[in-house]
Chains A and B, each alone.
Chain A
Amino acid sequence: MSTFTTDEVARLANLARIDLTPAELERYAGELEVIASAVARVSEVAGDDVPATSHPIPLTNVWRDDVAAPTLDRGEVLASAPEAADGKFAVPQILGEE
């Protein structure tokens, strides 16, 4: 099992796109170490002969006829956006990142 060092928590937080303060990194490292130790026992319970279950009921895709229908009101949707311009979402620069 991995050890939850602050570096490991920082790596995971970066993957999850969450800025953490140094104090949070320190606290989560300790807490996650305890939680991970408690949950690690799952690997001891089930052997290779046990199939995995991802969902409580069998899932099938749901299709509908491809017909035009009313959509959400654009004004209402954009009203809750952090920023909108010209009837569209305005987002920060996406291309040209490091």
Chain B
Amino acid sequence: MSDATLTRRTAAELAALLEGGEVSSVEVTQAHLDRIGAVDDAVHAFLHTDGAPALAAAAAVDAARAAGDDLPALAGVPIAVKDVVVTRGQPTTAGSRILADWVPPYDATLVTRLRAAGMPILGKTNMDEFAMGSSTEHSAFGPTRNPWDLDRIPGGSGGGSAAAVAAYEAPLAIGTDTGGSIRQPAAVTGTVGVKPTYGSVSRYGLIALASSLDQAGPCTRTVLDAALLHEVIGGHDPADSTSLPGEATGFVAAAHDGARRDLTGLRVGVVRELGGEGYQSEVRAAFDASVEALQRIGAEVVEVSCPSFDAALAAYYLILPAEASSNLAKFDGMRYGLRVEPSDGPVTAERVMAATRGAGFGDEAKRRIILGTYALSAGYYDAYYGSAQKVRTLIQRDFAAAFAEVDVLVSPTAPTTAFRLGEKLDDPMAMYLNDVATIPANLAGIPGISIPNGTDAAGLPTGFQILAPAREDARLYRVGAALEALLVESWGGHLLERAPELEVSA
């Protein structure tokens, strides 16, 4: 089987080929490493790749299979991991100069689970510094480019993970979603992205941005692949005090159920506040067509109002910087990472910290830390941080009221398709608006998925967001798989197949 054929396969297809002995994990892993070598100079999805350990892991799976061992579902399928997730013995930078040479001495729980599932780790993917951004232009190591159009952004902060999957460099990737950083990149790259219920995938070993919002999840090309990966990384972790009890099961079954394309009895709520002003007309048109498609297979659609969502963006941009200013305090040049001494005057710990943080953090990190310091400072705490936490209560109440009427809520994932690199870099508020539809789910801790659902006039992909109540992630897979099956049938293949071929370097 040729390399090109292997890299075009979904994770579920690769798992079946591996299980049937038609291909080895070493072949699959090497094919993806070759693809990375061929296209990543142009895409820059990866900050670090590790061929030898990935191939060693693949060989170990092949040996176990040859010995007749009973292996996990995705054993031998390679994966890419966002560089905010720590990996023992492999560099982890969070896209920041301040961690440029850091090699973690331990694995994140989800990495431990990937390794236990026999999944070779291809490398670490590019991201906005400490996951602050909506375009992956705030990486200290240069931007990632959208495989659909290399002059455009791949979304953020997990643009590297989404681009790696869209460019066929990895069949699967891990992302983290603090305000939409899995779903929004999925929308603009024509891939599938899932933010699981808060606490259902361990955050142990994720470099925290905003602890009450961060959630790791799958970046894939199909809904079934996301369900398969979610079952590998999810489930209770005693090492994480915010980890929910229980196992991660039922997602794959829900995806298979959805693929039968029968949503009879399902109640779908269209969120009035997520889709009006500021949404590109083609995004809205694709959304309307997808809602009609759901109706055709039995779903009952009603409009619901969540009035507090209008304040979600403002609340988010107070809560996130406040938590970030605290979480990022540990990057001080004392125990790990960069250390910069002041250019003049005494070399004291305090002055080294300030010099290190001044040189090590990029623009967006500095901007948000200062905003967070302000929001938490004496005299402003009640007006800003305290009020934002009240808005969070109202948003949770809006969701609770809506889910009393409907089973899932839907909206466009992002207000526009991918914009050009540099277009919004000097306008932080314009950049922040990209996450307007994804942020409410993070404030309330509920799960969400983005499915590719169309293209604009320039041929760039749009995304369809489905939200479910906390711990009802299986609904995302059922409804997502149903819509995906309808769309793939109408298009005669996956949307990603319409992306232009990338030029392969020698």
Take A52-B386, A94-B348 as given contacts and tell me if A89 and B394 are in contact as well, using a CB distance cutoff of 8 Å.
Answer: no
Let me know if B370 and A12 touch, CB within 8 A: yes
Q: Does B90 count as interface, using CB distance less than 8 angstroms?
A: no
Chain B interface mostly helix, strand, loop or mixed? helix
CA distance A13 to B388 in the complex (A): 22
Distance (whole angstroms) from the CB of B202 to the closest CB of chain A:
12
Q: Does A45 count as interface, using CB distance less than 8 angstroms?
A: yes
Take A18-B366, A32-B367 as given contacts and tell me if A12 and B374 are in contact as well, using a CB distance cutoff of 8 Å.
Answer: yes
Q: How many residues of B are in contact with the other chain, CB < 8 A?
A: 75
Beta-carbon contacts of A28-40 to B below 8 Å, as 1s and 0s?
A: 1001101110111
Q: Does B416 count as interface, using CB distance less than 8 angstroms?
A: no
**Most chain A CB inside 10 Å of its own CB: which residue of B347, B355, B393:** B393
Let me know if A16 and B369 touch, CB within 8 A: yes
Let me know if B198 and A57 touch, CB within 8 A: yes
In the bound complex, residues from chain A placing their C-beta under 8 Å from that of B380 are 2
CA distance A94 to B446 in the complex (A): 44
Let me know if B238 and A32 touch, CB within 8 A: no
Q: Does B332 count as interface, using CB distance less than 8 angstroms?
A: yes
Q: Which of B438-477 contact A (CB under 8 A)?
A: 443-446, 470
Q: Select one of A15, A54, A91 contacting B373, CB under 8 A.
A: A15
Q: Which of A42-96 contact B (CB under 8 A)?
A: 42-43, 45-46, 50-57, 59-62, 64, 72-73, 76-77, 79-83, 89, 91-94, 96
Take A2-B374, A77-B105 as given contacts and tell me if A55 and B390 are in contact as well, using a CB distance cutoff of 8 Å.
Answer: no
In the bound complex, residues from chain A placing their C-beta under 8 Å from that of B358 are 18-21
Take A50-B393, A52-B389, A56-B443 as given contacts and tell me if A16 and B242 are in contact as well, using a CB distance cutoff of 8 Å.
Answer: no
Let me know if B103 and A80 touch, CB within 8 A: yes
Q: Does A24 count as interface, using CB distance less than 8 angstroms?
A: yes
Beta-carbon contacts of B328-351 to A below 8 Å, as 1s and 0s?
A: 010011111111011000111111
In the bound complex, residues from chain B placing their C-beta under 8 Å from that of A24 are 366
Q: Does B387 count as interface, using CB distance less than 8 angstroms?
A: yes
CA distance A77 to B103 in the complex (A): 9
Q: Does B130 count as interface, using CB distance less than 8 angstroms?
A: no
Distance (whole angstroms) from the CB of A84 to the closest CB of chain B:
10
In the bound complex, residues from chain B placing their C-beta under 8 Å from that of A72 are 105-106
Q: Which residue of A lies closest to B325 (CB)?
A: A16
Let me know if B370 and A62 touch, CB within 8 A: no
Let me know if A38 and B374 touch, CB within 8 A: no
Q: Does B38 count as interface, using CB distance less than 8 angstroms?
A: no
Distance (whole angstroms) from the CB of A93 to the closest CB of chain B:
5
List the interface of chain A (C-beta within 8 A of B): 1-2, 9, 12-21, 24, 28, 31-32, 34-36, 38-43, 45-46, 50-57, 59-62, 64, 72-73, 76-77, 79-83, 89, 91-94, 96-98
Write 7 A-B pairs (CB below 8 A) sorted by A numbering.
A40-B314, A40-B383, A42-B315, A42-B318, A57-B199, A93-B346, A97-B350
Known: A15-B377, A42-B388, A93-B348. 8 other contacts (CB 8 A): A20-B366, A36-B371, A38-B317, A40-B383, A55-B242, A56-B198, A56-B212, A91-B334
